[in-house]
């Protein structure tokens, strides 16, 4: 039997306020489930959720459009990494949340880490890149202690320089070579960051992968 709009109006008029509220709540629940099924099929997000903790997609704070954009960005990044070297499929993991790219895993040397950072920044629509990839190597306490000290000194210098937004940069030091990743508001700020790095005692080289805000705006167009 098909329930027409008139029939539905007549039926609801006979119900008490409590019963009517229960009926509407039931309809809302069905709609939420229906939307969740559609999204899981279109966007490709499993019931594990984007956070990997069993969070339902219905609770995902991102809009549907943002989820789709993130999914496209992730596929593009994965494709670029495969073209670069197929080994990254196993050694490097990536996530894209609200246009922000997160990289984890292990690579053989810092140059590879730098290359992957650059690949991530090349993805259209990227807002930021967080590279937490580790370098594979046997631990050397003396060298590691020196590298940690250099990183700490540069981090402190960036924080106390009022013309630099220190939170926009990641710093790695490997065998007295400084690797700086981040985004600068201006070319002057970029030059300041590199200059501060070069002033640290015992630093042998400074290798920077710093994008300008203006470059990102052009990239999004």
Same domain, 41 and 78: no
Same domain, 145 and 216: yes
Whether residue 1 is predicted with pLDDT greater than 50 in this model: the reply is no
DSSP for 104-143, please give it. EEEESSHHHHHHHHHHHHTSTT--EEEE-PEEP----HHH
Same domain, 77 and 129: yes
Same domain, 146 and 197: yes
Same domain, 42 and 74: no
Same domain, 35 and 52: yes
* pLDDT, tens only, 11-68: 455 545 445 455 445 544 444 444 444 444 443 333 333 333 334 445 567 788 888 9
Domain boundary among 59, 77, 94: 59
1-9 own/partner pairs: CB under 8 Å, 24+ apart:
none
Measured torsion, CA atoms of residues 69, 73, 79, 82, in degrees rounded to the nearest 10 = -140
Domain boundary among 119, 135, 151: 135
Domain boundary among 109, 135, 161: 135
Query: What is the domain-level CATH number for residue 158?
Result: 3.30.1340
The per-residue pLDDT for 164 is 95
Structural domain harbouring 70: 64-135
Whether residue 70 is predicted with pLDDT greater than 60 in this model: the reply is yes
Number of domains in the chain: 3
Query: What is the domain-level CATH number for residue 81?
Result: 3.30.1340.30
* pLDDT, tens only, 153-191: 999 999 999 999 999 898 989 889 999 988 899 999 999
The per-residue pLDDT for 44 is 38
Same domain, 216 and 187: yes
The pTM score is: 0.58
* pLDDT, tens only, 105-132: 999 988 899 899 889 988 988 888 888 8
């Amino acid at each position: 039997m098909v329930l027409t709009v008139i029939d539905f109006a007549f039926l609801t008029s006979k119900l008490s306020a409590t019963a009517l509220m229960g009926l509407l709540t039931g309809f809302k629940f069905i709609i939420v489930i229906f939307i969740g099924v559609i999204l899981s099929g279109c966007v490709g997000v499993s019931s594990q959720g984007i956070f990997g903790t069993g969070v339902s997609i219905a609770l995902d704070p991102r809009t549907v459009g943002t989820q789709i954009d993130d999914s496209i960005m992730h596929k593009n990044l994965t494709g670029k990494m495969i073209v670069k070297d197929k080994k990254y499929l196993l050694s490097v993991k990536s996530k894209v949340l609200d246009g922000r790219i997160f990289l984890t895993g292990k690579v053989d040397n810092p140059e590879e880490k730098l290359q992957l950072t650059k690949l991530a920044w090349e993805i259209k629509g990227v807002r930021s890149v967080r590279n937490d990839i580790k370098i594979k190597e046997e631990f050397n306490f003396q060298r590691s202690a020196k590298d940690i000290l250099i990183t700490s000194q540069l981090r402190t210098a960036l924080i106390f320089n009022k013309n630099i937004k220190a939170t926009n940069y990641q710093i790695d030091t490997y065998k007295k070579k400084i690797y700086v990743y981040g985004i600068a508001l201006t070319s002057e700020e970029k030059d300041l960051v590199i200059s501060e790095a070069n002033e640290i005692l015992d630093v042998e080289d400074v290798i920077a992968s710093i994008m300008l805000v203006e470059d990102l705006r052009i990239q999004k167009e």
